[in-house]
Amino acid sequence: MHCTSERLRSLRTVGAHCLREVIAQPPAKLAGLATLCATAGAWSSGDETIATGLLIGATAGAGVLVVGRIACHQFGTTTARSKAAVALSAAAGGGLAAACAIGNEAAVMATESMVAVSAIALCAARVVAVRSREEVPPWINAGCVLAAVAAGVMAFCAFTIAVPRGSRAIHMGGGPDGFLLARQAGSLVEALAVEIGKELLSGCGPSVDRRGLTFDDRIKAAAQGLLPYIAACVLINGMAAPALLANGDGVSQDVVFEDLVAAVLVTCLTNVLRNGVNATVVIHTWDGGKRDGLPDNPIDYQAEPKTMLGRAATIVDRWAVRSLLMAARTATYVFMRTQGFSIEASAMVAQGKYAVFAQFREVLADLMVGDGWSPQVLVHLRETDPPSRIDLEEIEAQFDAQAVELEFERVLQQAGATA
């Protein structure tokens, strides 16, 4: 009976997560679509200079914020060298974000390659460290970063060599450029509206908070939901939504709100499914992955309430991450459309790539606030080095219970003889 009650609670909680998405997503999607249409109108009326400047500035600012805040926590700000590393990282993030905003697909591929290689390399290093019971050496982290930079440079060069010069980027100034600008502007507004709605609704109804898991297990939980999310993005956003575009997507003709609204609203289902799957995974991961001192039932865990300033900071951080991912997705889609690919093919590729990175966007937001690898790696005790954590398994292995028992009996016998 108790088991059935817990299952019902879990189902209600997952349903609440889905319902909050149903409430938050449609208004945000419509706001983004309205911005898309308004920006397309501004472009056609000759006001593209101001609109383009605002778009590039906002996207570059998001890149500076995301990369800069992560770099602050990873490199620190105590020395001149670390401050220089943070500044260079933030500048690189802003530059790559601006390049994505104007449709430079080479910059998109370079950025995606760097993120993918660094994530895989750091996760592999973490797994090896856990199995060997040693901390990850600093030179390993540095090597992972250098490998990621090398992968980005190689991806950029490969794209530059493979694609003709005139087709490498969509240059602002004519043709489908207004379509690119309009979609990028709509994505910025949609991302902000989504994060505001999600934060306002976060306290409504039962929920499970992934922050109750260790950082390692948050990554594992996100990875478990990756394949369902990719499938949803490709099938719903890449196939079902384009099928509802009776008059095209606006890349070669005027953008009309009524022509796009049905396809835009259908994409809300992807986020509903994603949040339902992620909530289910967190519930099932809770027993083995929760942080110390938390309740056994994830539904009973309540994080500390945020101040208004804290909630605003959360919205800005998550808006920055979401908007960067959406800018890269839009650049890929528009690039493929201008190269002659169909709406369906362009959408499937862009959505599939987006899903791989977007599934981990909460992890990026965690890194921005200083969360990192959980300090659970055991280190071997040495006489010359102070221990960072007591290795209980090693102590138990050296503990001889039989010898202690014999010694205890000998002491008792000596005490009896003395008496």
The answer, yes or no, to whether residue 287 has pLDDT greater than 50, is yes
Helices and strands, counts by H and E, the chain: 16, 0
Please indicate whether residue 102 or residue 246 has the higher confidence score (pLDDT). Answer: 102
CA dihedral defined by 11, 217, 372, 273, rounded to 10 degrees?
-40
Nearest-Å Rg of the Cα atoms of the chain is 26
Structure-token pair, residue 109: 């591929």
The answer, yes or no, to whether residue 180 has pLDDT greater than 90, is no
Distance CA 91, CA 160 (A): 22
Read off the pLDDT of each residue in 136-140 and give the average, rounded to a whole number.
Answer: 71
pTM value is 0.81
| Mutual angle of helices 268-289 and 257-266, in 10-degree steps | 20
Q: What is the pLDDT of residues 1-56, one digit of tens each?
A: 456 777 788 888 888 899 999 999 999 999 999 988 888 776 655 556 677 788 88
Confidence of residue 310 (pLDDT cuts 50, 70, 90): confident
Please indicate whether residue 410 or residue 9 has the higher confidence score (pLDDT). Answer: 9
Query: What is 85-117 written as a DSSP string?
Result: HHHHHHHHHHHHHHHHHTTBHHHHHHHHHHHHH
